[in-house]
Amino acid sequence: MNARQFSVRAAVIISALAWTAAGWASAQDAKGGLVEPPAGKSGSGNWCEWLETNPGTLYKGGNNDWLQELRFFGLLHVNYAWVNGKSANRSFSYDNDGEIRRLWAGLEAKMFGNALTLHEEIRLADDKTPSGGQRRIDYIDTWASWAEWEVSRTFPVLDGCGSWTIGYGKNVVPLAEEVVNSSKFLSVPERSAISNRLYLLSDAVTPTGAWLRWKNGLWTATVGVYSTDTAPEMGNWSDGTDYVVEVERDSKDWFRTDAATLAMAFYYDDTVRGDDRLTGAMNWVASAWMIVKEGPWTFRANAIYGEADDRNPLRDGPFWGLVLTPSYMIVPDKLEAVLRYQYQGSENPQGVFLYSRYAKTAGLPANENIPLLASGRGDEHHSVYAGLNWLICKQNLKLMAGVEWESLQSKSKDVYQGFTFWTGLRTYF
């Protein structure tokens, strides 16, 4: 049985287990064991309360020595976007016709005194309609599949040395602020182009790796080693190796604010010609970010510097970027205003590129057929986004709308300039 067959069967088993358990989830009271949905008044308020209180929790607590929690979860993101711009001395207008951006489902279990966490997450939609393809709703692949063992819970001798956790599997690599907070808590419809470059993927899913995480007081540090094998399921270690170190600190005591986080990450790619590679085409990159919250205000900033590793000399060499995102909660937990500025630049004329959603997509042969835009490369890229988020059920269900202006140049010549008008629906449980 190959890896894909194994993952398909695992997905079927996980789904059957989750829905079977959901069928008898109200058999016990909430004191422990099977979980009953929260009671309350009828109406949308109660529906939001239900959505915000982990309705997928099938089992929690109880007297079971080996299983402490079993949780089914799901996520749906939908985008609708219009692009009006100019490229190659040609004005155009593009409508993406709506896209199922994400449709994921999974199961997570906490076991053996919460020391072991098992996580399986699958993609259920592959929507290529914005680029002229088909929309498929089915089992697509395994987005994330990992196990973590908090060693310090098993061996009390480590008490006083912080929390130590080791993990293995397919997981998100923490290289940028928008990567860490995507996709549930992002305050804009899509990541910025420079942040998306730092979202390392293996054939459209997360890479396979091993990591060690240490937490002690205000500090957290993670060291990870990832295979560059681009298998759509669990990868092997026959190709190159990528290394990641990330350190963060809860810094509200430094900023004297309601909440604050400072973080840094460093990535190094160790591959040779002929190896599979993760997305981004980087030899190395350093990234530092901060999140500061005070009252209704939140300010996010991310500075990035790295070196591209591309066989094309026009795309090789140093690149850099900056993302600034202030937001203001106009109505607490209901209405949020967001502004984001992004800049990225490079030493060579094609060293940075547009995000594929949706300006680059507009240039594809199936749409406006503008090769310069479909490539979407240059040496200086600016973008400004302004929008509003209606948090219908806090972060669990929100509508997003905004407009983004972008300008991409190469050697001071315009490659693209235009607007993207965004609407989006984000929900998860």
Helix (H) or strand (E) holding 197: helix 193-197
Q: What is the pLDDT of residues 295-353, one digit of tens each?
A: 999 999 999 999 999 989 999 999 999 999 999 999 999 999 999 999 999 999 999 99
pLDDT at position 161: 86
Strand partners, 284: 268, 307
Q: What is the pLDDT of residues 93-124, one digit of tens each?
A: 999 999 999 999 999 999 999 999 999 999 99
pLDDT at position 233: 84
17, pLDDT greater than 90: no
C-alpha 408/C-alpha 383 separation (Å) is 9
Q: What's the whole-number mean pLDDT along residues 41-45?
A: 50
pLDDT at position 203: 86
pLDDT at position 253: 97
Place of tokens 């008008």: 421
Q: What is the three-state SS of 349-372?
A: CCCEECCHHHHHHHCCCCCCCCHH
Q: b/e string for 266-281 if b means 16 or more Cβ within 10 A? A: bbebebeeebbbbbbb
Q: What's the whole-number mean pLDDT along residues 246-262?
A: 98
Helix (H) or strand (E) holding 169: strand 163-170
CA dihedral over 374, 375, 379, 385, signed as positive or negative: positive
C-alpha 98/C-alpha 75 separation (Å) is 17
134, pLDDT greater than 70: yes
Q: What's the whole-number mean pLDDT along residues 141-164?
A: 91
Structure tokens at 282: 């980087």
Helix (H) or strand (E) holding 317: strand 317-331
Q: Is 103 helix (H, G, I), strand (E, B) or coil?
A: strand
29, pLDDT greater than 70: no
C-alpha 258/C-alpha 225 separation (Å) is 34
Average pLDDT over all residues of the chain? 90
37, pLDDT greater than 90: no
Angle made by CA atoms 177, 181, 183, in degrees to the nearest 5:
130
Q: What's the whole-number mean pLDDT along residues 29-46?
A: 54
Query: pLDDT band at residue 270, thresholds of 50, 70 and 90?
Result: very high
All domains in the chain, ordered by first residue: 3-428 (2.40.160.10)
Nearest to 136 by CA among 119, 124, 120, 147: 124
pLDDT greater at residue 45 or residue 6: 45
C-alpha 332/C-alpha 339 separation (Å) is 17
Q: What is the pLDDT of residues 160-215, one digit of tens each?
A: 889 999 999 999 999 999 999 988 999 999 999 999 999 999 988 999 999 999 99
C-alpha 150/C-alpha 155 separation (Å) is 9
Nearest to 375 by CA among 397, 360, 390: 360
9, pLDDT greater than 70: no
pLDDT at position 32: 56
C-beta atoms surrounding 114 within 10 Å: 11
**Backbone dihedral angles phi then psi of residue 165, each to the nearest 5 degrees:** -130, 135
Nearest to 375 by CA among 338, 331, 344, 415: 415
